[in-house]
Every structure is written in C-alpha cells, then in structure tokens.
Amino acid sequence: MGALEPFDHGITAPQGFRASGVHCGIKRARKDLALLYTPHLASAAAVFTSNAVKAAPILLAQQRLQDGVLKGVVINSGNANALTGPRGLLDAELMASRAARTLGEHPATFIPASTGVIGRPLPMRNLIFGISVAAAKLAQTREAATHAARAILTTDTVPKEVAGRVKLRDGTTVTFGGMAKGSGMIAPQLRGLHATTLGFVTTDAAVPRETLQAMLERAADATFNMVSVDGDQSTNDLVVVLANGQAGNAPEAADGRFEAALTEALAVLARKIAQDGEGATKLLEVEVQGAEDLDQARRAARAVVSSNLVKAALFGRDPNFGRIAAALGYSGCRLAPDRITLRLVASGGSVLLVRHGEPRAYSGTAAYRRAHELLRAKEIRIVADLGVGASSATAWGCDLSYEYVRINAEYTT
Amino acid sequence: MGALEPFDHGITAPQGFRASGVHCGIKRARKDLALLYTPHLASAAAVFTSNAVKAAPILLAQQRLQDGVLKGVVINSGNANALTGPRGLLDAELMASRAARTLGEHPATFIPASTGVIGRPLPMRNLIFGISVAAAKLAQTREAATHAARAILTTDTVPKEVAGRVKLRDGTTVTFGGMAKGSGMIAPQLRGLHATTLGFVTTDAAVPRETLQAMLERAADATFNMVSVDGDQSTNDLVVVLANGQAGNAPEAADGRFEAALTEALAVLARKIAQDGEGATKLLEVEVQGAEDLDQARRAARAVVSSNLVKAALFGRDPNFGRIAAALGYSGCRLAPDRITLRLVASGGSVLLVRHGEPRAYSGTAAYRRAHELLRAKEIRIVADLGVGASSATAWGCDLSYEYVRINAEYTT
C-alpha cells in the first residue's frame, strides 16, 4: 500500500467520467439502474466469471470487449438476466444499445451488466424508461457517483466506492475512481478470465489496452479473487476498467506505479465487499506468510477465509486455532504441522494462538481469554506463518452469522 | 441398491465381532470410548483424511495398516489428539497398545481413532481406566453395538448403524455390520487415500487384503466422499473395514456382489451422516445425470450439496433453481446452460424447475408454489440432467440452518 493517495470520491472522480443512478421499477423502491459514461473513447479491460453458466450480459460483454474500447456501461440490479436463453441475449443487447443511442454513441461502445435474481426475463419497459431518465441525470459530481454506487447494490447494506491519485513517471498525476457491489454468492475462482462480483474502475490515465488488461488480471488475482463470502461463484461476475486518457500522460508512463495504484483501488473495494458480506458482523483478513510460492500462499489464505467452521467460530468469538489449522491442511498447499505459527491481531493487540505447531490458546488458558476479548473487534486479522518458504498472500472474508442464514433462506428466486 | 439384505443390527452383527462403549471422562457425561474387537486376525483396509494436518492416531493407523491385518480398534470421542506433536503420537500408541494388551493381543494388531477438539493432549488416565472397563464389557449383542455407536459421536444427535447380509457366488451368506460418526467438519476430498468422517465396517467374509482395499477405495469414492455438511475436511477422517473370515466362504467368492453389498453398507452410513449434519432439518440428495463422465458427474453433484446458498434456500423452502444452476456452473464439469433440466422430488411428488435451460418455477408461478409445498418434506431430492453425456452420480448433504451457526459459534476449541 502507498502508491494511491486516497480522497473521498467515487466512480466520477477522474476527468471526463459521468454517472447516474435511478429507480426504474425492477426493485420495489430502491435504485436499480446505473449509467457510467465517458464521451472519450476509453481503453477497456475486463475479467469475467469463470462459471460455465454465464448470464446474458456477460456473454455480450465478452464479445464487445474484444475490441478493447468502450464509452460506457449500463448496469441494473434486482435481476441477473441469467438463465434467460436467447431472449436474455436480445434484452442485454437492447439494454446496451439503448443506452448508447440515447447518448448519441455507437451501440458497440456500451456493455450491459446485471445482478439480482436468476431465471426471470428483464422487465424491458422499465429498463428503457429508466435509461432515458438515467441519461438525463448523468453528472460528474460526488453525489452522482454515490447514486450510481447505490443503484448497483443487491443485498449489500452500504455503497462501496474508492478514489485516489497517483503521480506517474512522466510527472502527470492521474486519478482513479471506482465502485463495486457484492455481498453474497461471492467466491474466488482462479481459472482464466474471472472475477467475483461487480467492480467498475475509471481512470483518466492513457494506458494501452493490452497493458491495461494484463494489469487488471494480475490485480484481480491479488484482490477480488481473494475475497470469499460464501464460496458460491456467481453467473454474473464482472470487473471492468475504463481508461479515457484525459490526464494526458505518456501511455508508456503507465507502468509499475500505475499498476500498484490500480491494485490498491481494487483492494479497497475488495475489502469493502468482504466487510459487507451477507450477515457479516466482522471483517476477517487472513495473511499467510512463509508459503512455498505465491499460488500456495493464496490457496491457503482463501481456504481459511472460506471455512464455514472458522467463520462460525469468529461469529462466536472463539479463537479456534484447530479449525484454522485444519483449513490450512486441506487447502492443498505444502506445509508441516510442526512449523505452523498462528497469530490473532485485532484492535492494536495480538495473541499467539499456535507456535511452531504447539497450541498456546486452548480454552481455559489466559491466551484464550485474551483472544476471546480481542475478538470483540470488528476487524480481525489472522497471520498464519507456514514456515516452509518466503511467499505471502492476503485474503478477505467475514463471519458466518444467523443473519446470513436468514437472508439466504428468505431471498427468493 | 439391492445386493444387501438389511436387518436391524450394528457393528457386532457379523460372527466373531465384539464391541462396547463406555464413559471415561473425556466428555462430561456422555459415552466417549468405544472398543471393537475380533479374536480372529482380520484382513483390514482403510482410507484416511487427505488433510496435510493429520491427527496422531491417523499417522499411527497409516503405519500399522501397511501389514493389512488387525484385531481391533479403540476409538475415543471428545478429543481429536490432533496438533498435539510428539506427545500426541506417544499417546496414540499407548492407547492402542493398552487396548491390545488388555485383551492379550499384540500391540500392532490394534489401531486408535479419535474425534473431538483439536490441540489438547488426551487425558491418558481417563483413557487407560476406560479401556479396562470397555474391555470387560465387550459383547456381541445388539445393545453392545449401539453402545459403541454412541460412544464415537461428537455433535451427532443419533447413532448411525447398519447391518445386512449377502449371499456370495459360492453359496455362503456373509454378514456386514457398521457404525459411523460425523456431523460437522465434513467434506469430500478426492486425493489418493482419503475419507470424510469416522466409519467402521465389519464383515465375517474372507477377503484378501488387496481386494478389500481396492473395493473400499471405490466404495468410499461413491459414498463417504460424496457427503458434504460444511465443506471443511477434518484432520481425523478414517474409514476402516475388518473382514475376519468366520463365514467360511472361498476368498475368491468375495467378488462383485460382495463389493456391491459393501458399497451399500457404506452408502447407508453416508446418508445417515448427511441427515444428521449439524443443525440439519432436511436431507438433500442430489443426483446428477447426463454428465460427460463419472468424475464430472461427481463434481457437479458435490458442488450442489456443498453450496451454502442452495443449503440456505432449502432451509427456507425456496426452490431456488438459479443457485442450483450456478453451482453446477462453477463445479468445473462440462455443461451447456440450455441443456440443463432440474427436477425437485419429495414425498412422492415432483416438480420440473428448469427444462432444457428454461426456468419453469420462478416465484409467482404455480410450479413455484407446488415446489415450495414439496419442500416441507424431510428428504429432498434434486435430479439435475446435464444432457451432455451418460454418466451419473449421487451426493448427500443437508440444509444450512440457524442451528448450524449456533452449534459452531458455541463449540469451543
């Protein structure tokens, strides 16, 4: 961390990006349609769900992004337009082309994105009406960014935004903006192109398309693909980055420092998604150190944040090192039980749970009571040192609460 | 199904097997120590957890089973003897040798098995005292079988037993008995030797050791490895089969019919484990048909029973075909969304949820209301036809309830 200089703003922070968010009647009362637009043709990079059941907007976006340039995205919540057959594809196409045409742009310069219930046709009348309203409300203001960020939410409880600046090698300062949604049906899935939720990042930097795509893939692997709320991978996941070049930097100056800032922007959004996981009362951050290689470190960290037993223990404020060790054990990463060291960090304090395979904090011990106290915090960090190598990785998740069950037992098809 | 002729009995049903179950003080009040013994040296086959963090009794059993013969197993619940270092190994060895010596047998003819909390040393005084009591109570009665089946439970609510007969090719009738435990920390993990809970099967058939091992591995893949309660794989999983030869069959007569009966016995136990999953209110059986090959059929079936979202929907009686389709989609098996057909079967009735990719039962439809009604049943079957091949597989799981969260938030290290 440190490349991105953050400030309070959202998706419209960079020059030349406008957004809006409105209610068009897909949901009962809350905003359900967002528009994102730049009049300057932007380099576009994207990663998609690797689920074999892909929603119609994903299929269309994959096709349109082959050109690597876009002017906008139209996003609805409340209906995923998934498992909707040929009609779903036509609807996705109409949704994007209507947004483009309303703004006087070529249909191929817009992509659609959808999130919500699966298996129901999009209510196209509402959408078409909504698009005209959203187009009329497009603005570059701070408020417009939040309206858009709110309009893409489903079971999320708070909008998720990010903004920051970074100075490039050629002296140009470029700006990032972003918004994301994701609360349930969230799990990392590392196969080819992939993503785990909806994420949108804008920047006024000039970046060649191929460079941007490569950077996004690496950044998504380290951020969005390290988030797990429930282990379920969606049919609609999508992360898109638009770079419209308005900052006027030399394209070759968008190098390592730019990538670091992009990764930070995505990390901020990823962390916010984990924190707002369905029913979550706590954010869980797991850092695995001392793994044999990066892939193994990531596997191990993801296994711990994805474990239902670890998540339920966290909800119950139980520093259950046995479940953490078991999750590391089945993650598929190489380890030696007698080298594992586990530390719990929260609220500025820390407790050693296991040292070189030897439990320190079983119930009845002072360490257990101290850990139980630390677990009152809203942000919990577990540091797992495997002691077999030099690679590390961080994953984000949340606890498993009664509320998660309630939300998902009541949410209907 | 059909090879095994079932009858009401347990682990002591076959000739020459004795068992007992006692309370020795590892748990506060309930039985916590079981002994299983045959005075006739038995062919022994076993599959073990593939978790890299293996409990001490697993490490010892793996070593002892290289010979392929055993006379008994000593099993404690309440303490897993996992993450207990060199002391844990010595304790596991002492536990097994004490059981063997008490019965006048060679120490190498017994293996230990443990289940319970991780990271605490076994209370050896209680265990040693308990073993002498358990040895004195060994019996071949129906009651003794249930005492043993009760003594191996942790958060399970009911003992899990099976018994049945099968007539072999040479005219001999051989008998099977079995018991299992498993409620939480249950997930299939298909890598080399593996298992997903504690399972013990006895038979008075004569079976060559290598044949028995090969049969057990195939049977476990089709049964215990198709059960998921929470996706967490334990450090202590073990399934053992003992064949003491007392039925007097020709060893070569223990062929396909014998294997079918063994598989059925394990399937009965596997189903009981899923049904008694932590907090479960419903059994979920998922049959995938029309997959490209057996491995893909199994992956797909396991993905559906393991999905938190599907499990929570089941708890809420929501026939959420979208979540089922999404789980099939991320299972890694080949499929075409427009070929998927999903049917819900319960209480003798059935509803088509999706036909060739087209949803039939979204909310508001008569099909939805009918499915919602059928979901009152305690045993729910989902039949998913992928329509891309001819392979099928069945997996077992349960719903995700408030009670699962309560149990695992309160259960302590």
Which residues neighbour B364 within 8 Å (Cβ) at sequence distance 6 or greater?
none
Q: What is the pLDDT of residue B412?
A: 53
Mean per-residue pLDDT of chain B: 92
B412–A326 C-beta distance less than 8 A: no
Taking contacts as CB-CB distances below 8 angstroms, the residues of chain A near B307 are 231-232
Residues of A in contact with B320 (CB under 8 A): 412-413
**Of A203-217, B166-180, B286-300, B394-408, which range is least confident?**
B394-408
A337/B53 CB distance under 8 A: yes
Residue among B190, B405, B407 with most chain A CBs within 10 A, to mutate: B405
Q: Which of A191, A192, A162, A193 is nearest to A179 (CA)?
A: A162
Which residue is closest to B312 within chain A, CA to CA?
A409
**B228-285 tens-digit pLDDT:** 876 677 888 899 999 999 999 999 999 999 999 999 999 999 999 988 887 889 999 9
H, E, C per residue of chain B: CCCCEECCCCCCCCCCCEEEEECCCCCCCCCCEEEEEEEEEEEEEEEECCCCCCCHHHHHHHHHCCCCEEEEEEEEEEECCCCCHHHHHHHHHHHHHHHHHHCCCCHHHEEEEEEEECCCCCCHHHHHHHHHHHHHCCECCHHHHHHHHHHCCCCCCCCEEEEEEEECCCCCEEEEEEEEECCCCCCCCCCCCCCCCEEEEEECCCCCHHHHHHHHHHHHHHCHHHECCCCCCCCCCEEEEEECCCCCCCHHHCCHHHHHHHHHHHHHHHHHHHHCCCCCCCEEEEEEEEECCHHHHHHHHHHHHHCHHHHHHHHCCCCCHHHHHHHHHHCCCCCCHHHCEEEEEECCEEEEEEECCEECCCCCCHHHHHHHHHCCCCEEEEEEECCCCCEEEEEEEECCCHHHHHHHHHCCC
The predicted pLDDT at position A1 comes to 56
Determine the average pLDDT of the residues in A304-314.
Answer: 89
CATH class of domain segment(s) B5-274: alpha beta
pLDDT at B16: 98
pLDDT score, position A189: 46
Of A85, A120, A362, the CB nearest to B357: A85
> In the prediction, which pLDDT does B156 show?
85
- The per-residue pLDDT for range B121-132, each reduced to its tens digit, is 999 999 999 999
Chain A: residue nearest B120 by CA? A362
Phi, psi of B126 (to 5 degrees): -60, -45
Nearest to B405 among A187, A232, A405 (CB): A405
Q: Taking CB atoms and an 8 Å limit, are B320 and A405 in contact across chains? A: no
| Banded pLDDT at B409 (limits 50, 70, 90) | confident
pLDDT at A5: 96
Predicted confidence at residue B411, as pLDDT, reads 57
pLDDT of A70 above 50: yes
Least confident of A243-252, A361-370, B84-93: A361-370
Query: Quick one: tokens of A368?
Result: 């257990």
| CATH of the domain spanning B283-410, picked from 3.10.20.340, 3.40.120.10, 2.40.50.140, 3.40.50.300 | 3.10.20.340
User: Given a cut of 80, is residue B104 above it in pLDDT?
Assistant: yes
CB-based contact A408 B308, cutoff 8 Å = yes
pLDDT, tens only, A83-130: 999 999 999 999 999 999 999 999 999 999 999 888 899 999 999 999
Instruction: Quote the pLDDT of residue A190.
Output: 33
The pLDDT of residue A150 is 97
**pLDDT at B184 > cutoff 80:** no
Task: Give the minimum alpha-carbon distance from B254 to chain A in angstroms, rounded to a whole number.
Answer: 35
pLDDT in tens, A233-255: 788 889 999 999 999 999 999 99
Q: What is the mean pLDDT of chain A?
A: 91
pLDDT at A234: 83
Q: A164-178 b/e with 16+ CB inside 10 Å = b?
A: bbbebeeebebbbbb
Measured in angstroms, the CA of A128 and the nearest CA of chain B are apart by: 23
Chain B positions in Cβ-Cβ contact with residue A365 (cut-off 8 Å): none
Instruction: Give Cα separations from B121 to A396, B20, B79, B86 (angstroms).
Output: 32, 24, 8, 11
Residue in chain B nearest A116 by alpha carbon: B322
Report pLDDT for A278.
Answer: 79
Average pLDDT estimate for A148-175: 95
CB contact under 8 A, A119 and B359: yes
Q: Do B52 and A358 touch (CB under 8 A)?
A: no
Instruction: Kindly report the nearest CA distance between residue B369 and chain A, in angstroms.
Output: 12
Residue B191 has pLDDT above 60, yes or no: no
Suggest the residue from B230, B296, B308 to mutate for an interface test with chain A (most A CBs closer than 10 A). B308
* Residue A413 confidence (pLDDT): 42
**Smallest CA–CA separation between B98 and chain A, in Å?**
26
Most B-contacting residue of A302, A402, A405 (CB-CB within 10 A), to test interface: A405
Residue of A nearest to B322 (CA): A118
Give the pLDDT score at A276.
86
User: What's the confidence (pLDDT) of residue B402?
Assistant: 85
Percent of chain A with pLDDT over 70: 95
Q: What share of chain A is helix, strand, coil (3-state, %, to 5)?
A: 35, 25, 40
Kind plus residue range of the DSSP H or E element containing A311: helix A308-315
Q: How many CB pairs under 8 A join A and B?
A: 232
pLDDT given at position A412: 53
Closest-CA distance, A41 to chain B, in angstroms, reads 34
Q: What is the mean pLDDT of residues A263-274?
A: 94
Q: How confident is the model at residue B185 (pLDDT cuts 50, 70, 90)?
A: low
Rg (CA), chain A: 21
A-chain residues within 8 Å CB-CB of B319? 413
Residues from chain A contacting residue B324 (CB–CB below 8 Å): none
Catalytic residue ranges of A:
196
Dihedral angle at the C-alpha atoms of A240, A244, A247, A253, nearest 10 degrees?
A: 70
How do the domains of chain A map onto residue ranges?
A: 5-275, 283-410
CB contact under 8 A, A52 and B363: no
Contact criterion met (CB < 8 Å) for B335 and A230: no
Nearest to A408 among B80, B313, B321 (CB): B313
**Cβ contact (<8 Å) for A50 and B409?**
no
Interface touch B235/A321, C-beta < 8 Å: no
ipTM above 0.85, yes or no: no
Mean pLDDT of B201-219: 97
Average pLDDT over residues A205-215: 97
Positions of B marked active-site: 196
Average pLDDT over residues A264-288: 92
Residues A5-275: name the CATH superfamily. L-amino peptidase D-ALA esterase/amidase (3.60.70.12)
Max avg pLDDT among A102-111, A326-335, B279-288, B360-369: A102-111
pLDDT recorded at residue A68? 92
Q: Do B318 and A412 touch (CB under 8 A)?
A: yes
